[in-house]
Structure 1
């Protein structure tokens, strides 16, 4: 008997849209998120918006201040350092596990992702490139064979992806990042785990060294401007869905 899949709730649909809007830079770091404005934007009541904001708070993408409202997250230089330490710890471990379990599959998966990233860059599709960048790192966790590690990373994946979008505006950051993705894939294909891990450490560390010690708010310090899209149509009625996966 085929199990009946529950339809997604409006809160889940709003959550998916709002998460991606934050990750992709539709809202700037530290920006106020008005429940009323969001409800009008998505064509829903405030209740599903409020539920979505509560979940995004758990994911670290939204900060809720009593009597003031909800704000897109922002990080200080210290916060970026801690996020990088978190990534190094989990991602290097996941990389080792994925390499030990199936180095051939890991190498081919990373190589295919790099090829798609190269196509996106050639076509000038920056958003697609950044989504593929997230997919590259997610693939490492998909192949590590440890759901506890993968889930711990996924809970912070949105914040990592949003920071990735923010950093893409830095001069030459994407060029260097793309080169390192290819170098890691090549090192895995050559069976050189140590080299791949060294590149990964450098790759993650660039986010940390971008900000000098003492920067209290990277969004304000960088003068971030939101990349606005056109008006968002009212959300469709809930449809059949599986549990959404976080962006990494």
Structure 2
């Protein structure tokens, strides 16, 4: 009986050794495929965890903003510019953005948002109906659909799409203009581990490095025309 047990243990050890040798052989011969698969998964995970953002490369002049009460916002002293921004969220989670800014050669531009329509400017409880095209300094026929940003921050829902129309004033033709926006950083397990208070000092980031909750990205555009609306009599 004892010999049978010893023989059984011996056979199990042989099987385990053979299995271990097979695994090592697979790892040694298939390491390129394994690394490629891991890299592909990490790239896919990274791509699908980020907000895809695109903007018009050139801003276009418009005559003004038509409001839903029939009035129009028109500034005849400056050229009113229109820039479209698209955001796609391919991930399964909502993604937030913060501190949306438009920066021109001459400084930061103040773009239109519904939050600026208030009692102070007699525009409370009104909303933008569309943009009025401009041609040869006059209002043109037709209407451009518009979706003004509600504020300088917002959320793009999971598997969702958001279009924002940035409407602002410009006084100079320029190429070095930027749309800036901060996006929420993803919290992977490694980053959380390194920044944990329970982590040994040798594993923590170097002194002076702090993990930021957001990352600022930029998209460039041009202002090529400064068409203004002629003064109305």
TM-score by length of 2: 0.19
The structure with higher relative contact order (CA 8 Å, sep 6+) is 1
Larger radius of gyration: 2
TM-score (norm 1): 0.19
The answer to which structure has the higher strand fraction is: 2
The structure with the greater share of residues assigned to helix is 1
